[in-house]
Structure 1
C-alpha cells in the first residue's frame, strides 16, 4: 500500500517537474527574446546617431 502511494507521488511529481521545467524554459526564452529585441533596437538607434 505504501509502495503504491510512493509510486503515485513520484509519478505525479515527475509530471509537475516536467510542467515546471517547460514553464521555466518558456519564460527564459521570452525574457531572452525581449532582451534581444531591446538590444537590436538600441543598436539601430546608436547606428542612427553615427550619421
Structure 2
C-alpha cells in the first residue's frame, strides 16, 4: 500500500502546531477495504436497475 489515499491539511498558530495538529488528525483516519470481487457481486447490475424503473 505505498499509494496515497488521503491528505491531511491542518492549521496552527505556528508551523510546529500545524504539524502536531496534522499528526493528530491523521491518527483519526481509518480505511475500510473490501474484497474487489465481493463488492462486484453485491452491486446490482445495470439490467436490474432498468427493471426497477
Class of the TM-score when normalised by the shorter of the 2 chains: 0.3 to 0.5
Q: How high is the TM-score relative to the length of structure 1?
A: 0.34
- Kindly name which structure, 1 or 2, has the bigger radius of gyration based on alpha carbons: 1
Q: How high is the TM-score relative to the length of structure 2?
A: 0.33
